[in-house]
Every structure is written in structure tokens, then in C-alpha cells.
Amino acid sequence: MARSGYTCKTEGAVALSAATAKSIIGVKSGATTANHGVDLKKFRVGFDGVTASAVPVLVEVCLCTFGANAPGTNSTSTTVVQAYGRLANTGFTSGKTWTTEPTTITVVEEFLLTPNAGTIFYDWPLGDSPDSALGEGFVLRCTAPAAVNVRASLWFERA
């Protein structure tokens, strides 16, 4: 079946404060209509730390209902880019660096990653990618023991 794929990114560094969980990038389906979900295909995360002894950052991949604070509300809107396919008008919205966390968040995956230039490129195996409910989406959330900057991107399809 032919699919259309999209990406959103932080479009610059997001500053993490010590020991504070922060949703750094997120995507929500159906800004105007809740007629589809988000099928998360890939994510990328990279830190710019330079201290080899720095304590790892907790990175969480989370489902999010966006019951409050959808992308663009208490966050900076980012651009959803169509990466492949030809399906238009999906209504995806994305945002970065929430000042008040979106609700309701459910952690799907979590791992520790060194902030000392730690980077991960992860593609979900075929058939294993998580998908959201209609009108909902995903956020990447980080909790760093010390201040560090992060950049990230999400790759997704309409579910």
C-alpha cells in the first residue's frame, strides 16, 4: 500500500534544565479533524554535551492525548514536512520545547543516553511501530541531570 510520510524536528537546539522533564518535540494528528492517528516510524535524538563523565539523560518516547497544551500551546510551533508520498491536508501539527507539559502522557519506550555528544537514530522494525489514537500523537521527553542542549526529529505516517 502506498503511504505518505512526514517529519518534524526541533529546528534548533532545545535547552534542558537540570532534573526537569521536558517535552522537546511532539506531533499531533488532525488539528482540525480527528480522523486519523500518528504511526511513529523513526526518531532521532542528539545532545551537544562535552563532558565525558556527564550522567546520562533519560529519553522517553511517549503517547500523548494533548488534552491540554497541543503543539503551539505553551510550546513553539514547528513545521511538518512531507518526506514522501502524495497525501495532502492531513492536519498534522508539531511543536517543541513545552513550557507547560502537554497532557496526558504515556511512556511507550525509555532509555538512557549520554549527553556527551550522545546520538541515537532509531527506526521501529516493520510492523512494530507504535500508533496513536485518532486526533492524538507523540512527544519525545528528556530529563537531564545537568543542563545540556538537545536536537531531535520524529518521522511518522498517517495511521
Per-residue confidence of the chain (159 residues) as pLDDT tens digits? 557 899 999 999 999 998 999 999 999 997 555 678 999 999 999 999 998 889 999 999 999 999 999 999 999 999 999 999 876 678 899 999 999 999 999 999 999 999 998 999 999 999 999 999 999 999 999 999 999 999 999 999 988
Long-range Cβ contacts of 111-114 (<8 Å, 24+ apart): 111/58, 111/59, 112/56, 112/57, 112/58, 112/59, 113/45, 113/47, 113/56, 113/57, 113/59, 114/47, 114/49, 114/54, 114/56, 114/57
The pLDDT of residue 86 is 78
Q: Cite the beta strand spans of 31-147 per DSSP E.
A: 38-47, 57-68, 76-78, 81-84, 93-96, 103-113, 119-123, 137-143
The pLDDT of residue 87 is 67
Q: Could you tell me which CATH class the domain 5-158 is placed in?
A: mainly beta
Rg over CA atoms, the chain:
15
